[in-house]
Structure 1
Amino acid sequence: MPSTDSYDPEVLIRDLDENATENVVDFLNSHFRELEDLENLNSTLVELKENEQSQNEKRIQTQAKTSKVLQQALDSFNVTVNELENLQATRMELEDALADHCSIVVSEKPIEDSENETLMKKLVKLQQQVDSLERSKQYLKVLVVADELSTNAKQLIEKSPQKSLVPYTQLAHLARNIKSNSKEAGHAVSHLDTYLQQCVDTLWEDMKNRLTKKFKQTLDAFNWPTPIKVPYPPNTTDKFSAFRKAFTELLLLQRPADVEEVSKPLESKNSKEDNVLLPPLLPMQIMVEPLIVRFRYHFDSKRPTNRIDKPEWYFSHVITTIREHSPFLTGAVQAIVDDAGFEKYHAKNEFIRCLLVAVTRKLNNSVPTLLNSPQIFSHTVFETLQFDQTLRELHMYTPPGQDEWGGCVEVFTGKKEWFKAWLKVEKTFAEARYNEIMHSEDVWEMVDEEFPDDEYKPTKSAAKLINLLELVTSRYKLLPLFHNRIRFLIAIQAELLVAYSKRIDSAVDSFGNLSYSIVRAVPNVAATDITGVEGLKRLCRWLSSAGFVSRTIKEWGEDSFFLELWHEVTVRAARNTGNTGNTGNIGAAAHNTGASPLPSPTSSISSTEQGQVTSSVNVDGAITVDEGTVFDDPAELFDNICERIQSLIVKNVSREFFNGLKAYVKKNNWSRSDIYNNDFTRQQIPKLNNQSKDTTSRSTIELSPELYTPLSDLAHSLTFLSNNLPDRIFKHIYKDVSKELEDYLWDRILMKKHFSEMGGCQFEVDMEKGLFTIGKRWIRKLFLQIIPK
């Protein structure tokens, strides 16, 4: 940006002088470079003067033109200023006029009389009146049309029900359009849409009542609800024709809600949707009405047949009714339904569904009373399950349009409070029965029944427990929903199994503690209770109890019912873990059904022994379930108890034998040639070869007297075990006992004592005539390979 000094006149003049001087110098240097050039000075001066005169003339002309242009610009500016002032004045006048006009047309102040109303308000008011009159006109037109359509439909219903559907459909269309238009406009048309819908409903009810009257007359001709037997009498042809016509006419009203396709069969629209419950058929509802009245007369009134403790009475009544009417329903009625285009309906199933309305109402009304009577409540639910099963298996019942049926038991399982109440009743009964079993005097007594030699013979408590578990299974086995069945398994059966295992485990703990303590220091406990055959008897009964329960629940696990339950558990567990193949327990699967979180069946055993379910997901997304059963963990629990008891049996038998063997172990005459004076002091052993000498020695040597008592006790113990345990279990115990005896004799006698020739013969005789003789009766084949004949 230039400084202010550059605009100073003195500075400008000084700059001009400097420039002029430079120009003069340049001019002189260019024209007078040499001395001879001065000769041209005069001519140069003349030329310069002429040039100066020409420039002065141009300057004078330019000044004249500039003055003229400036004067013209000034005149134009003055004209423009005058015009702007005039425009500003005009604008102000227009604004004042517009304000005056607005005050005339619209007034913000309230108008006290119609004469002072503004023009705009008068126009708006008139337009509103016109709109109101137009709506009233349309309103009246709609009412007239609706009345005409309703009248036409009523006139045609008697002569031609099919044709009567045309005005009915038009009326329903009209009601729908009025309702949709009023919603789109943002306001309702003075209850017109409600009135039209009432007209549609009233018309449909009137049409239904007239057709129902005709249909009931055809039913009366058959003396309905008396069962119509097959084959039909010849004189019923006209009756069947009238019945068929009335039934078909009622089916025309089956879809009053779908006004676009009233005349089309219901199935034409539902065919695109699977497993959708279809609405009940009108003629079937009418046919069932007198049957429901009879049902309520017998089971909802004060009749003797109405007993809260006899639900099987009304269940049996319904089953009988279905059986008596089945031929007519599956024959004549089914043909009418199919011909009318309702192929998805099964007449018999529709008949059953309509009848079940009375049953479910009866059950719902009975629940408040049943909740105060646990035994009757349990009985009612059980009978309901049996009733549902009869309908499924005997009559193949499923609601029309659906693949499965939840059953009437949904009355109890559909509400959490009622299902919990039922579960509590069953659990209380099971626990009371279990406590009764475990407090009986013969809790560990063996049952009197015969069992194969290779199976455990149960105690009475084990047999009764299994019966109790089977009873519980029968209570929930027929439940259709997985999460209800798993609740029974977890809350009742798993807890009973855990309780029984703890009872046996506690008894074994006490036995083990007493076995290794000073018996005399324990009051009320005799030594014979934990030693000898008496001790083995107690251990064998506990072992038989645990083994029998384990074997039984393993067999249950292979049953189709429990296999399906296991499959559902694993699939739900896999889904619950995000289909990643992780493990999940039964409690997680139950939680995935929407039910409250539950522990796994063995979660109460210990925090480290949770029942795990393993499943994996294939590449295509299919879930692969590993082998297993729902009873694997409880069975493993009882198997562990069995192993522990077997170990105690081995220790008890071995310890009893070792205690009786103390005198035999303390013998110090193994190195002497005359071990027993009675046997060898007077006997001269001939010098024969080794074989003859050994044979002679063994034939003359008797069993050591110190072995009589321990061998007798051992024989009694093994005989008892052989008679009371399965063969495979006894052989396993016998093998472990033999190993204990072998180690004991090896460590205490053979490796510590010094033997003479006769001492060795004596020990050999003790083994062959003693231990081997006792043992060979159970494993004869093995000893035949060892002992020479």
Structure 2
Amino acid sequence: MDVKVKVIEMFNDKLGYVFNNFKMIKEMHTNLEHNKNKVEEYLSLASSEVPSRIQETIKEVNDIMKSADRLKKSCEFICINIKKKLEQENKICEVQDTIDDITYLARLFLYLQFVQFIEDISVELEVSLISGNDEACVSSYVILKESCQNVQISLCTNLKNYINNTLQFWYNQIKKNLIEEYSETLKTLKWPFCGNNSQAINTHTQESITRFKIITQHLFHLQLPDNMIDKRSSEFLSSFSTVCLPVALLIHPLKQRFLYHFTGIKQTNRRDKPEWFFTQILTWIKNHSEWLENIVQPVADAAGLKNINIKVEFMRALVSLAVEKLNSELCIVQYDDSLFAHTVDEALGFERELKGILLYPSADLAIVFVLTQPQFFIKWITMEKKYATEKMDAILSSETAWSRLPGFETDEMKVTECSEAFLILLSTISDRYNHLPQPGHRLQFLDLQLELIDDFRVRLLQLLRENYKDPLLSLMPSILNTLYYVSIVLQNWGITVPFLKLYFFKKQFENFGTIMHDDAFTKPLVDDNEHNLTVFDEVISLLQRLEKKLMIEIGDSVFAEITAKSKLYCNEKWFAMSSEKDVVSLSITASGCSMFQEIVNQLHALHNSLALPLFEQSWQNLAIRLDQYLLDEIILRNKFNTGGAFQLQFDIKRNLLPLFGLYTNKIELYFALTVEACILLNMLPGAAFLLIETLENADEDTRTEILADVKIQQLTSNTALKILKTRMDINYRSQEQKSFEID
């Protein structure tokens, strides 16, 4: 019935309500026949293949069952082994529990044994302390301290606390006893050696010295472990290393005196006299250094503490007093500019003497540690800028600012008073910040110096504008000398070790912002091409730019004065002069006297007003310009007969060149154009005419060779032709030649 219903539904779907659609019925019949044939074909094929596939499947099932049996047997075997192992493990666990119990009892025994050991040492310490046997007492303490240090890695917190407390207790007891003896011994030695006791250092008995050394050695051994030393409560003093016990006891009476004199309402405690407590600290160090090195240091070495420098420890303890005092003073005087500046000056002076003369380690913290605290450092650098600016104003406004400093060494440089004073100002700033331990702090002071140098340049430029007149009669030469001298000194400073280090740190800080780029880790912090650069390069470049500008102005002014006196000489009748054969003795051309005299005056003025290197540069530039000027305005613009050419040569070689020959032995190099032109003007007519023909017909290379043969190397071939054609005898021969060719 299901099949019948499905057939009916299929016919309804295909035919619908169209009853005359016979073509559709035929197609349906064809399709059904086709499907029927395919099913029959498939069934016949299956009937032939099924038996073989069934056999294969049965074989595979049998193989799987055999494999399952093997695996089952294997699993059973493994289970048996596991049961055996578990039984053995249970026995081992029972034994391990016993072992653990034994281990626990052993540790407990050792624990109790160690506690008993500590108690025994405590008993020995008590007996030694009561009997007054300091040596035995200290020996037992050293054993107790070593035990305390060894147990610090233990996880037994209560045990560590117990031994630490025990050690601290006996430390206090032994210390109290030794301090009493130490104090009596120091009184016998009249320590400290200051005031009325200043001469007591040479009056000690051998017995007192021996007793002092013994107790000092005991105190060295009485040190607490590092982890038990109390840290200083003060923020500033916490950065200082704790000094050893003997030094702390030696410092104690000095500390009492320091607090007595420099705290409270004592007359010696004055905020406007910080040098008093600084000087007192330095005096104490100087008075006791030799005694500490000769007496106390050998004791420390004998106690196995060769790594401790007693003098340095002593200085560090005293410096900590000055640090604490300075910090309290700066908190108050920072609101008074004059007191603050004076306090900073004295602090820096103390630092310089402490490290430069007394050899306090540069790596150890000292007085500048207080000055570099943010609230004080900002104030400090602000005050430096304020006072440096005021000092620079005073330097430039001084009546003798532009006077030259006397002295043979500075005579050629013509050093001005203001340039030397300004450099001293910069050097003073460098001396003040060279002891700062942090590169960032030193770089801030370097930036201040660079700012002052640029401000100095701007002020010089303003002075030039206010006093503008004849360059050589104004401040321009003095300002030029100042610029040159300051530039030279800055270049020399830049290659010194302190400023090279600052340049390295500066490049590091500049590159720090870009260090996270992809290629930042493959690039060096300082480029190989920058090894010859310095921190002053930028400001030196600005100074040299202004220097070059002023040199051009002075050169133009001097050249203008000379050319103004050369008009008559340029318009001389060179074509109508008498021949040298008709003149008894040659003399300078009359129209050129004013020009040559002006050259002498200007060279003299330049030599007297400019530093030697600037003068050399100035006269060389003037010589080169005059050489070109004489060629263009006299030689190429005039005609010369034989007498005129010879007279010009006489003026140049006997009058002009000697004026500049005072400053060099090779002046012909600077007047090469004029000297070579005179050679061409005074050549024999035949040679000159032949040279013209050759130059007109030859190629450029040949022209150069020919001119070189007649010692013409600077003039071009075209210029040489023009000079040759200014000769009257050449023009005359040329006209005769043309007339002859026409005839």
Summarize the alignment of residues 617-632 of structure 1 with structure 2, pairs less than 5 Å apart. 626-632=531-537
Pick aligned residue for 2:477 from 510, 526, 540: 540
Q: Displacement, 1:149?
A: 9.1
Equivalent residue for 1:729? 614
Summarize the alignment of residues 684-699 of structure 1 with structure 2, pairs less than 5 Å apart. 693-697=579-583, 699=585
Query: Structure 1: 5+ residue runs without aligned partners?
Result: 6-141, 183-191, 263-275, 512-523, 585-612, 617-624, 676-684, 686-692
Q: Displacement, 1:232?
A: 6.0
Separation in structure 1 between the aligned mates of residue 151 and residue 661 of structure 2, nearest angstrom: 100
Q: Displacement, 1:317?
A: 1.9
Equivalent residue for 2:336? 373
Separation in structure 1 between the aligned mates of residue 126 and residue 528 of structure 2, nearest angstrom: 65
Q: 1:582–1:615: 8 Å Cα contact kept in structure 2?
A: no
Equivalent residue for 1:425? 383
Output the aligned Cα RMSD.
Answer: 4.5
Q: Which amino acid aligns with 1:364?
A: N
Q: Which amino acid aligns with 1:351?
A: F
Equivalent residue for 1:64? none
Residues 741 and 193 (structure 1), Cα distance of their counterparts in 2 relative to 1, 3 Å cut: closer
Separation in structure 1 between the aligned mates of residue 367 and residue 141 of structure 2, nearest angstrom: 37
Pick aligned residue for 2:367 from 392, 395, 408: 408
Q: 2:189–2:200: 8 Å Cα contact kept in structure 1?
A: no
Sequence identity (%): 24
Equivalent residue for 2:260? 297
Q: 2:405–2:414: 8 Å Cα contact kept in structure 1?
A: no
Q: Displacement, 1:321?
A: 1.9
Q: 1:384–1:409: 8 Å Cα contact kept in structure 2?
A: yes
The superposition leaves residues 51-72 of structure 1 with CA deviations (integer Å, 9 ceiling, x where unpaired) of: xxxxxxxxxxxxxxxxxxxxxx
The superposition leaves residues 176-195 of structure 1 with CA deviations (integer Å, 9 ceiling, x where unpaired) of: 8999558xxxxxxxxx9999
Q: Displacement, 1:292?
A: 0.8
Pick aligned residue for 1:486 from 432, 443, 463: 443
Separation in structure 2 between the aligned mates of residue 615 and residue 543 of structure 1, nearest angstrom: 34
Residues 455 and 296 (structure 1), Cα distance of their counterparts in 2 relative to 1, 3 Å cut: same
Separation in structure 2 between the aligned mates of residue 251 and residue 3 of structure 1, nearest angstrom: 115
Equivalent residue for 1:223? 190
Equivalent residue for 2:418? 461
Residue 563 (structure 2) pairs with residue 658 (structure 1): yes
Residue 706 (structure 2) pairs with residue 743 (structure 1): no
Summarize the alignment of residues 95-110 of structure 1 with structure 2, pairs less than 5 Å apart. none
Q: 1:660–1:709: 8 Å Cα contact kept in structure 2?
A: yes
Instruction: Name the SS of the counterpart of 2:585 in structure 1.
Output: helix
Q: 1:330–1:348: 8 Å Cα contact kept in structure 2?
A: yes
Q: 2:454–2:539: 8 Å Cα contact kept in structure 1?
A: yes
TM-score, normalization: structure 2? 0.62
Separation in structure 2 between the aligned mates of residue 772 and residue 395 of structure 1, nearest angstrom: 63
Q: Displacement, 1:301?
A: 3.6
Question: Max radius of gyration: which structure?
Answer: 1
The superposition leaves residues 715-757 of structure 1 with CA deviations (integer Å, 9 ceiling, x where unpaired) of: 2111111222344432332222122222223223332334445
The superposition leaves residues 35-64 of structure 1 with CA deviations (integer Å, 9 ceiling, x where unpaired) of: xxxxxxxxxxxxxxxxxxxxxxxxxxxxxx
Equivalent residue for 2:301? 338
Summarize the alignment of residues 67-82 of structure 1 with structure 2, pairs less than 5 Å apart. none
Q: Which amino acid aligns with 1:530?
A: D
Q: Displacement, 1:637?
A: 3.2
Q: Displacement, 1:546?
A: 0.7
Residue 661 (structure 2) pairs with residue 703 (structure 1): no
Separation in structure 1 between the aligned mates of residue 419 and residue 489 of structure 2, nearest angstrom: 10
Residues 233 and 638 (structure 1), Cα distance of their counterparts in 2 relative to 1, 3 Å cut: same
Residues 418 and 702 (structure 1), Cα distance of their counterparts in 2 relative to 1, 3 Å cut: closer
Q: Choose 632-641 or 456-465, whichever is displaced more.
A: 632-641
Equivalent residue for 1:161? 137
Summarize the alignment of residues 550-699 of structure 1 with structure 2, pairs less than 5 Å apart. 550-566=487-503, 614-615=527-528, 626-665=531-570, 667=571, 669-671=573-575, 673=576, 693-697=579-583, 699=585
Q: Displacement, 1:367?
A: 0.8
Q: 2:481–2:611: 8 Å Cα contact kept in structure 1?
A: no
Summarize the alignment of residues 28-47 of structure 1 with structure 2, pairs less than 5 Å apart. none
Q: 2:190–2:200: 8 Å Cα contact kept in structure 1?
A: no
Q: Which amino acid aligns with 1:253?
A: L
Residue 256 (structure 2) pairs with residue 248 (structure 1): no
Q: Choose 419-428 or 738-747, whichever is displaced more.
A: 738-747
Equivalent residue for 1:530? 470
Task: Give the aligned length.
Answer: 543
Instruction: Name the SS of the counterpart of 1:699 in structure 2.
Output: coil
The superposition leaves residues 231-280 of structure 1 with CA deviations (integer Å, 9 ceiling, x where unpaired) of: 6644x41x344434433333343125658xx9xxxxxxxxxxxxx98642
Q: Displacement, 1:764?
A: 4.6
Residues 312 and 615 (structure 1), Cα distance of their counterparts in 2 relative to 1, 3 Å cut: farther
Q: 2:436–2:442: 8 Å Cα contact kept in structure 1?
A: yes
Q: Choose 748-757 or 164-173, whichever is displaced more.
A: 164-173
Q: Displacement, 1:196?
A: 9.5
Q: 2:189–2:204: 8 Å Cα contact kept in structure 1?
A: no
The superposition leaves residues 291-324 of structure 1 with CA deviations (integer Å, 9 ceiling, x where unpaired) of: 1111122222433322323333222222222232
Instruction: Name the SS of the counterpart of 1:502 in structure 2.
Output: helix
Summarize the alignment of residues 42-57 of structure 1 with structure 2, pairs less than 5 Å apart. none
Q: Displacement, 1:359?
A: 1.5
Instruction: Name the SS of the counterpart of 2:475 in structure 1.
Output: helix
Query: Structure 2: 5+ residue runs without aligned partners?
Result: 6-113, 230-238, 680-743
Separation in structure 2 between the aligned mates of residue 171 and residue 716 of structure 1, nearest angstrom: 95
Q: Displacement, 1:478?
A: 3.3
Pick aligned residue for 1:438 from 396, 406, 415: 396
The superposition leaves residues 79-121 of structure 1 with CA deviations (integer Å, 9 ceiling, x where unpaired) of: xxxxxxxxxxxxxxxxxxxxxxxxxxxxxxxxxxxxxxxxxxx
Residues 379 and 696 (structure 1), Cα distance of their counterparts in 2 relative to 1, 3 Å cut: farther
Equivalent residue for 1:518? none
Q: Displacement, 1:424?
A: 1.4
Separation in structure 2 between the aligned mates of residue 695 and residue 752 of structure 1, nearest angstrom: 25
Q: Displacement, 1:457?
A: 0.7
Separation in structure 2 between the aligned mates of residue 158 and residue 341 of structure 1, nearest angstrom: 28
Q: Which amino acid aligns with 1:251?
A: F
- Which one has the bigger helix percentage? 2
Q: 2:141–2:170: 8 Å Cα contact kept in structure 1?
A: no
Residues 614 and 212 (structure 1), Cα distance of their counterparts in 2 relative to 1, 3 Å cut: same
Equivalent residue for 1:210? 177
Equivalent residue for 1:363? 326
Residues 728 and 218 (structure 1), Cα distance of their counterparts in 2 relative to 1, 3 Å cut: closer
Q: Displacement, 1:577?
A: 7.1
Instruction: Name the SS of the counterpart of 1:372 in structure 2.
Output: coil
Residues 740 and 195 (structure 1), Cα distance of their counterparts in 2 relative to 1, 3 Å cut: same
Equivalent residue for 2:429? 472
Separation in structure 1 between the aligned mates of residue 659 and residue 216 of structure 2, nearest angstrom: 89
Equivalent residue for 1:678? none
Equivalent residue for 2:290? 327
Separation in structure 2 between the aligned mates of residue 242 and residue 149 of structure 1, nearest angstrom: 26
Separation in structure 2 between the aligned mates of residue 477 and residue 167 of structure 1, nearest angstrom: 47
Q: 1:562–1:629: 8 Å Cα contact kept in structure 2?
A: yes
Q: 1:574–1:582: 8 Å Cα contact kept in structure 2?
A: no
Q: Which amino acid aligns with 1:247?
A: T
Separation in structure 1 between the aligned mates of residue 653 and residue 152 of structure 2, nearest angstrom: 106
The superposition leaves residues 637-683 of structure 1 with CA deviations (integer Å, 9 ceiling, x where unpaired) of: 33333333222222111122223334554x38554x3x7xxxxxxxx
The superposition leaves residues 673-700 of structure 1 with CA deviations (integer Å, 9 ceiling, x where unpaired) of: 3x7xxxxxxxxx7xxxxxxx43434836
Residues 302 and 147 (structure 1), Cα distance of their counterparts in 2 relative to 1, 3 Å cut: farther
Residues 615 and 702 (structure 1), Cα distance of their counterparts in 2 relative to 1, 3 Å cut: closer
Q: Choose 557-566 or 379-388, whichever is displaced more.
A: 557-566
Q: Displacement, 1:417?
A: 1.8
Q: Displacement, 1:471?
A: 2.1
Residues 203 and 313 (structure 1), Cα distance of their counterparts in 2 relative to 1, 3 Å cut: same
Q: Displacement, 1:550?
A: 1.3
